[in-house]
């Protein structure tokens, strides 16, 4: 990296900020002695610190430094190196990959996974037989998930794809691996590990709410990142798909002493609908098919909560988009 002002006889106070804001770069330099402000703004992500070096070039002119840095050859060399790092990451991942491993059915990975404080989520969804993911449920900027090994998927991009998605370029091969995990039961995928921060050993765990697909059937209940405490209870872990439309699936679940089996109700859902069950709902859990329900009236609203509990019946309905 070039150094500005190393041969100046007199020191100058310079307040600077190397702005890195996705999806563009910027830099700001303030010189108190000369009452000068240098602001560089760009409209895209460069292959190097272009905005910073442009600011340094102007700063040298203001300081009237006799021996100036070569801000033509330095950016050319760094851009070439930066572009070459992307195929190098691909080779690195391929070198450490275990070949010919099997993965689960794609639908088993589908879900929305939140970090421990619910401030960031990764949505995994299936699209025309392929697995994709997006951050913060923004499906306008999806990434393809390719099978890497076992239950690990790769979303490694090319430099061009990274720029198209308006991402901040990060050269770290582990960042582009998503490791799906099964929880305490050891069967269903309900967690993923993402190693996005080199300072966090082992990566960060994201807790999911895998979504069932198909028609009527049984799935294991996972409410956000709060699991059923007693998975052996049939009534607690059985959800029946009671109705389906082209745009939504309705899941129903009923248990009389629900609070005893749920660690904690989730405080929000995945941006779906909020269903309130009228008190005249009738539930039948005696049939061999599991839990069935029928209701004389159901009300829909668009509040972003996961569960609605009726104190008189303690019944729950969940509508998943």
Q: Is the pTM of this model over 0.95?
A: no
Is the CB of residue 168 less than 8 Å from the CB of residue 20?
Answer: yes
CA angle (276 as vertex; 270, 279 as ends), nearest 5? 155
Residue 90 within a domain: no
What Å distances lie between residue 173 and 88, 144, 155, 205, 296, CA to CA? 9, 16, 10, 18, 55
Q: Is 199 exposed, middle or buried (0-12, 13-18, 19+ CB in 10 A)?
A: exposed
Residue 3 within a domain: no
Domain boundary (211, 234, 268) is at 211
Domain boundary (161, 189, 211) is at 211
What Å distances lie between residue 183 and 53, 106, 128, 191, CA to CA? 48, 18, 28, 7
Q: Are residues 176 and 148 in the same domain?
A: yes
Residue 207 φ then ψ, to 5°? -100, 130
Q: Are residues 175 and 108 in the same domain?
A: yes
Q: Quick one: residue 9, left, alpha or beta (phi over 0 = left, psi -120 to 50 = alpha)? A: alpha
Residue 201 within a domain: yes
Angle between helices 73-96 and 50-63 (to 10 degrees): 150
Domain boundary (168, 190, 211) is at 211
Separation CA 248–CA 321 (nearest Å):
5
Q: Are residues 240 and 194 in the same domain?
A: no
Q: Are residues 288 and 253 in the same domain?
A: yes
Predicted local distance difference test score (pLDDT) of residue 179: 97
Q: Are residues 278 and 188 in the same domain?
A: no
Predicted local distance difference test score (pLDDT) of residue 281: 33
Q: Please identify which residue in the block is written with the tokens 């190693």.
A: 195
Predicted local distance difference test score (pLDDT) of residue 176: 97
Q: Which residues of the chain have pLDDT under 50?
A: 210-321
Tell me the residue range of the domain where 147 lies: 96-211
Residue 66 within a domain: yes
Q: Are residues 145 and 203 in the same domain?
A: yes
pLDDT tens per residue, range 199-251: 888 999 999 864 433 222 222 233 333 333 333 333 333 332 222 222 223 33
Indicate the number of domains in the chain: 3
Predicted local distance difference test score (pLDDT) of residue 186: 59
Residue 268 within a domain: yes
Residue 144 within a domain: yes
Q: Are residues 217 and 206 in the same domain?
A: no
Residue 78 within a domain: no
Residue 1 within a domain: no
Separation CA 99–CA 106 (nearest Å):
19
Q: Are residues 57 and 113 in the same domain?
A: no
């Amino acid at each position: 990296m070039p150094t500005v002002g190393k041969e100046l006889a007199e020191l100058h106070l310079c307040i600077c900020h190397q702005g890195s804001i996705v999806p563009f770069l910027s830099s700001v330099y303030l010189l108190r002695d000369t009452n000068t402000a240098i602001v560089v703004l760009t409209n895209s992500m460069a292959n190097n610190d272009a905005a910073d070096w442009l600011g340094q070039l102007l700063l040298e002119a203001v300081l009237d430094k006799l021996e100036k840095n070569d801000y033509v050859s330095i950016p050319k060399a760094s851009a070439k190196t930066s572009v070459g790092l992307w195929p190098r990451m691909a080779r690195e991942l391929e070198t450490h990959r275990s070949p010919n491993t099997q993965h689960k059915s794609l639908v088993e990975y589908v879900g929305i996974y939140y970090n421990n404080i619910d401030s960031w989520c990764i949505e995994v969804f299936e699209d025309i037989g392929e697995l994709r993911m997006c951050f913060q449920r923004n499906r306008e900027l999806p990434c393809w998930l390719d099978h890497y090994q076992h239950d690990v998927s790769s979303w490694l991009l090319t430099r061009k794809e990274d720029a198209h998605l308006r991402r901040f370029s990060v050269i770290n091969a582990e960042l582009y691996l998503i490791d799906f995990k099964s929880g305490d039961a050891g069967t269903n995928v309900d967690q993923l590990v993402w190693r996005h921060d080199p300072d966090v050993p082992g990566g960060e765990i994201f807790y999911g709410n895998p979504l069932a697909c198909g028609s009527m059937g049984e799935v294991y209940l996972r409410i956000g990142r709060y699991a059923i405490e007693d998975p052996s209870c049939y009534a607690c872990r059985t959800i029946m798909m009671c109705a389906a439309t082209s745009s939504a699936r309705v899941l129903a679940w009923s248990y009389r002493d629900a609070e005893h089996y749920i660690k904690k109700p989730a405080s929000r859902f995945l941006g779906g609908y909020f269903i309130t069950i009228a008190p005249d709902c009738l539930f039948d859990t005696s049939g061999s098919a599991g839990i069935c329900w029928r209701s004389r009236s159901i009300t829909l609203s668009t509040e972003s909560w996961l569960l609605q509990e009726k104190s008189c019946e303690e019944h729950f309905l969940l509508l998943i988009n």
